[in-house]
Amino acid sequence: MLKVIVACANGAGSSLMIKLKVEKVLKKLEIPASIHHCSLSEGKSSATQYNVVFCPLNFVSMFDRAKESGVTIIGLRNILSEVEIEEKLVAAGIK
């Protein structure tokens, strides 16, 4: 099962909206996953425990340490775009 974390500035509104979109796309792609949403600070400290991190594009660099340890970091330009989420999952080899 894929372990996914979704992070935004405060871990409330945006991350929850991204989480719902990611859930929908993963279900469509038939990829079983557990998804957690949180603030950037929590996400940064726990990212290495996950397979994939989703965050707004401007926060990707906060996850460089997790990326170095093999975590896939996906930055989203449009956090509500299921098309972008799917394209970036496929481009990352997750399908």
Query: pLDDT tens across 52-81, in order?
Result: 999 999 999 999 999 999 999 999 999 999
Which pLDDT does position 77 carry in this prediction? 96
How many Cα neighbours within 13 Å face the side chain of 55?
Answer: 26
Task: Average the pLDDT over 1-24 and give the result.
Answer: 92
What confidence tier does 95 reach under pLDDT thresholds 50, 70, 90?
Answer: confident
Residue 13 has pLDDT above 90, yes or no: no
Q: What pTM was estimated for this model as a whole?
A: 0.94
Here the tokens at position 20 are 């719902």
11 Rama class: left (phi>0) / alpha (psi -120 to 50) / beta: left
Mean predicted lDDT score pLDDT of the chain: 95
CATH match of 2-91 with 3.30.1300.10: no
Tokens of 61: 């660099």
**Do the beta carbons of residue 53 and residue 15 sit within 8 Å?**
no
Domain ranges of the chain: 2-91
Q: Residue 37 and residue 19: Cα distance in Å, rounded?
A: 6
Alpha-carbon span 69 to 9, nearest angstrom: 23
β-bridge mates for residue 8, sequence order: 39
Could you tell me the pLDDT band of residue 11, with boundaries at 50, 70 and 90? confident
